[in-house]
Amino acid sequence: MKIQQGPRTSSLPLRKLPSPVSPPPPTATPDPEPIDSASTPPPNTREVRIGRFVKLLTRESLTHLRYLSTMYAFNMVGTTAGLIAATPLGIHFAQDNAAVVGGVAIGGGVAAGAVAALAGYALERHADKKPGPKEKESQSTKAAESLVTVASALRSMPKFIYPTVVGTAAEEKAIYDALDKLPLKDVTASSVLHVVPNLTDTGISGMAQPGLTHTRILLDQGYINDGRAESLVHHEQGHAVDYSGGYGLLGALNWRGPFGSGPFVSEYASGNRYEDWAESYEAYHHDPVAFHRDFPEKAHIIEQAERTTPGEHMMDNESVRNAGRSIGHALGTVPHLRTAMETGLALLSPIQLHRGAKQLEQGLIHGDDAQKLRGKMSLITGVLLGLPGGAPLATVASAMNVGFQMTTDDDPKKLKEANALANKFASVATGPVGMAGVAITQELAKAGVDLSKLDFTPADFDAPIKPGKMIQGLVATVGGGVAGSLIGASLGGMLGGGVGATMSAFWGRIGGGLIGLGAYGAYRALKSEKQDPGPYDLTRGDKVFLTKIVGTAVAGAALGTVAGVTGGRAAGALLGGALLPGSESWASNLGGWAGALIGSYALGKAGAVVGRKLTENDPPT
């Protein structure tokens, strides 16, 4: 480093004297440069190259998640408002043509949702162009997390509030009396039942509209008032129950059985698998013995779907039902209050995902362990809130987040311990995919690639996402979630019946979404390297190295999941029967859940070890 010296001044003596010998001025010693500085580049090793790739992948994944969550929240609101506004238009213009009602209503909802999603994207992009100051923990942050905890707890409780009926008091009574004959968990599958005059003029007597926030049902007024309420309500509510098993029409419960193929309970049921389910559901609840005799396979799927947890079983009694009817009626006294409430609860998931992604980004950039911790826990809460059955775990995650904020303060040791606990909770909450991730990270570290040493800078998150890339990320994430749910439900159904299908669909949706988002992030990271090549891009040897460890770990985790579920269910049923006779069913489910986690980690770890051993003979890097 060149040292600038100031000018020297002196008075001239009468005669020149020898200058005293003095030591040269001290030379400043430069501070050590960071490992990724431009003046002192890091060594070009495999650990550095893979670490850089992981940083690119993390940036792409978190930034996409932040944009996607904002767009999804806006899309939810827009779709709900559009569906409500467009339905009367569809009814008005339809003349004995049911397709017009559905087309206009769904088209209006999709169009309004698309416009709203674009507005959400524009808002997020605007915020990226004007970055705010580093977010600090505040009382408002703790208050917001406490509110999320309370809301999550409410969502995790067994549902008991009856749908709100838009109609007369007599119509409400007829509908509620029909719902009283269904299991309470099925009664709560819809939120709003709207009685429409002369709906049959459009060619239909009822329509269930699956939305992003809740399911609405249209019912013909004539059917309700002339003694046909029970059959119509049971048919349409059957649709709502069907849709609750997946993403509306995608992954619905009817996908898990022989619905759509004969024999059929009625001619109308032969139209498609959705109407087959609804007609079968109606017939089953009219005469379950006769239906089970004539259609045993379809009856089995319906019975599996209606199995209740101990909490749901306890809630299904007359006093709770009466309370549910009263609350459902009270919410109907204020127009659209029920819709607003359901939409608000549904928005919890994308709001938490956005908060988590933003907090984690800032925590990584500034090296702030407190923000990293809040980001991780908010992400976990958001993911779980977005999944059917995930609210109880989301409540635990949110409560842990509040507890961490109250107990860790700025203590580095406590924050480090809390972050480690958050990582473990995330691994368990995300099921076999999370357990496989743990095994991969551990073996990469043993192979000389320690990802815990990564340091991020603001430059790592300075690339806003273009609309076209956002659509690609959306398709990858949602597509992965849908595919994972369907694959999980199929495998789980074969191994554990209806309950196994539900549990596997839950984890399949998480795993598929994470894999889809991660795969897209990896694709973008590799494409970025190709477009802007540099000395730290992954080499062919690096890619082979990663394939060996990651590939064998994923294969092992998949095998371990299947083996763990099978063995865990058998062990759980055996222990449950021995310790508490009659508890075999829920003990079997608990054993399958634990077995999936243990098996996926154990064989995932074994696979990763094999992969690491295979890399030992690779040429040096």
Alpha-carbon distance of 397 to 381, in angstroms, equals: 6
So what's the pLDDT on residue 394?
83
What Å distances lie between residue 238 and 186, 209, 320, 391, 541, CA to CA?
8, 12, 22, 23, 55
Q: Are 365 and 460 in contact (CB under 8 A)?
A: yes
Q: Are 444 and 548 in contact (CB under 8 A)?
A: no
Predicted TM-score of the model (pTM): 0.79
So what's the pLDDT on residue 426?
87
Closest CA to 621 of 540, 532, 529, 526: 540
Locate tokens 């002196």: which residue?
10
What Å distances lie between residue 88 and 91, 108, 333, 344, 455, CA to CA?
5, 11, 21, 24, 56
- Eight-state DSSP code of residue 261: S
Please give the helix or strand (H or E) that residue 216 lies within, else none: strand 215-220
Please give the helix or strand (H or E) that residue 220 lies within, else none: strand 215-220
Q: Which domains does the chain have, with CATH numbers?
A: 133-156+347-429 (no CATH), 159-308 (3.40.390.10)
Give the pair of three-digit tokens for residue 111: 């169009």
Alpha-carbon distance of 516 to 475, in angstroms, equals: 8
Which amino acid is residue 43, in one-letter code? P
So what's the pLDDT on residue 273?
93
Locate tokens 């049971």: which residue?
234
Give the pair of three-digit tokens for residue 7: 């000018």
Helices and strands (DSSP H and E) totals, the chain: 21, 4
Alpha-carbon distance of 243 to 137, in angstroms, equals: 40
Spell out, as residue ranges, where the chain has pLDDT lower than 50: 1-23, 26-38, 134-137
- pLDDT per residue as tens digits for the range 140-188: 566 766 777 777 777 767 789 999 999 999 999 999 999 999 999 999 9
Backbone angles phi, psi at 206, to 5 degrees: -165, 160
So what's the pLDDT on residue 1?
41
Q: What is the 3-state secondary structure (H, E, C) of 597-617?
A: HHHHHHHHHHHHHHHHHHHCC
Q: Are 214 and 192 in contact (CB under 8 A)?
A: yes
Q: Give the count of beta carbons closer than 10 Å to the beta carbon of residue 394.
A: 28
So what's the pLDDT on residue 471?
65
Alpha-carbon distance of 538 to 340, in angstroms, equals: 49
Q: Give the count of beta carbons closer than 10 Å to the beta carbon of residue 182.
A: 19
For the chain, how far is it from start to end, CA to CA, in angstroms?
32
Strand 206-210 versus strand 215-220 pairing type: antiparallel
DSSP string covering 530-596: HHS--TTSPPHHHHHHHHHHHHHHHHHHHHHHHHHHHHHHHHHHHHHHHHSTT-HHHHHHHHHHHHH
So what's the pLDDT on residue 11?
35
Alpha-carbon distance of 605 to 388, in angstroms, equals: 29
Strand 164-166 versus strand 192-196 pairing type: parallel
So what's the pLDDT on residue 17?
37
Alpha-carbon distance of 398 to 510, in angstroms, equals: 18
What Å distances lie between residue 73 and 216, 345, 352, 354, 610, CA to CA?
19, 11, 11, 10, 43
DSSP string covering 460-480: GG--PPPHHHHHHHHHHHHHH
CA triple 250-253-256, angle to 5 deg: 100
Locate tokens 């956005």: which residue?
354
User: Which residue pairs from 123-130 have beta carbons closer than 8 angstroms and sit at least 24 positions apart in sequence?
Assistant: 123/70, 123/74, 124/66, 124/67, 124/70, 124/71, 125/67, 125/464, 125/465, 128/464, 129/464
Q: What is the Cβ-side half-sphere exposure of residue 15, based on CA atoms within 13 angstroms?
A: 0
